[in-house]
């Protein structure tokens, strides 16, 4: 199943469309409008505002349900957890309809709980096509998400990246920056080595 990349601009995170599932919703609703009839579920990789800014409008536009890990659900309504005040805004103010946990499935995607950037950060993995949508856990340049925000945890992030490194990842679709379509596991390994080196 193809992954449609909807690039984020500036501070805004990337969004991705896989079948009828939209992953992350920081982008403007106009960027999603061409796909509005396809989308039935919005999955948020975590609660930070750059990934959730327009989830309320997009959910309404698409008549779609919202899913997030239960540990990050409070960030949809609490400004200090969403970091919305850093962007001169308020949290989305929407309740999720579905709470996700490790091993859950959303269409063809398996939920992998990857705490560290936030307590409820998740990645989504296609076992059949070996691609990973990684949110802010790891990036395609060998980088990783910050752990100095509320709920961040460097040790948890290291464990999460090690968990991802064990997967046969080819395509890597991160929350920021360009995706890569082959050898994504090498970028994950680079992130793990960088974190082990004491960076950050």
| Residue-wise pLDDT tens digits, 56-101 | 999 999 999 999 999 999 999 999 999 998 888 899 999 999 999 9
What backbone torsions phi and psi does residue 2 show, to the nearest 5 degrees? -70, 155
Q: Domains in the chain, please, with CATH? A: 3-196 (3.60.15.10)
Residue 24 near residue 44, CB atoms below 8 Å = yes
Helix (H), strand (E) at residue 126: strand 122-126
SS3 for 100? strand
Residue 14 near residue 175, CB atoms below 8 Å = yes
- pLDDT at position 117: 97
Strand runs (DSSP E) across 24-92, as ranges? 41-43, 65-69
**Residue 154: CB atoms within 10 Å:** 14
- pLDDT at position 35: 96
Six-digit token pair at 100?
């996700």
Distances (CA, A) of 5 to 16, 31, 148, 173, 175: 5, 11, 28, 8, 10
Taking alpha carbons only, the member of 161, 174, 100 closest to residue 131 is: 174
Looking at the DSSP assignment, which residues form a beta bridge with residue 144?
138
- pLDDT at position 197: 83
Q: Is the pTM of this model over 0.75?
A: yes
- Could you tell me which residues come within 8 angstroms of residue 166 by beta carbon, excluding any fewer than 6 positions away? none
Query: How does pLDDT run across 21-45, given as a tens digit for each residue?
Result: 999 999 999 999 999 999 999 999 9
What backbone torsions phi and psi does residue 15 show, to the nearest 5 degrees? -125, 155
The answer to whether residue 199 scores a pLDDT higher than 80 is no
Six-digit token pair at 67?
């899913």
**Residue 191: CB atoms within 10 Å:** 27
């Amino acid at each position: 199943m193809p992954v449609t990349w909807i690039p984020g601009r500036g501070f805004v995170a990337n969004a991705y469309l896989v079948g009828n599932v939209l992953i992350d919703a920081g982008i403007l609703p106009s960027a999603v409008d061409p796909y509005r009839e396809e989308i039935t579920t919005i999955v948020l990789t975590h609660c930070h505002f750059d990934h959730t800014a327009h989830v309320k409008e997009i959910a309404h536009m698409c008549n779609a349900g919202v899913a997030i890990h239960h540990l990050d659900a409070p960030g949809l309504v609490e400004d200090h957890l969403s970091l919305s005040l850093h962007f001169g805004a308020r949290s989305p103010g929407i309740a999720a309809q579905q709470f996700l946990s490790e091993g859950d499935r959303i269409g063809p995607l398996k939920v992998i709980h990857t705490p560290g950037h936030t307590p409820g950060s998740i990645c989504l993995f296609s076992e059949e096509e070996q691609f990973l949508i990684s949110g802010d856990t790891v990036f395609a340049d060998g980088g990783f998400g910050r752990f100095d925000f509320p709920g961040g945890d460097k040790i948890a992030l290291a464990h999460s990246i090690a968990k991802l490194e064990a997967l046969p990842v080819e395509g890597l679709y991160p929350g920021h920056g360009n995706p890569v379509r082959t050898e994504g596991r090498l970028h994950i390994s680079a992130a793990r080595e960088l974190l082990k080196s004491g960076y950050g």
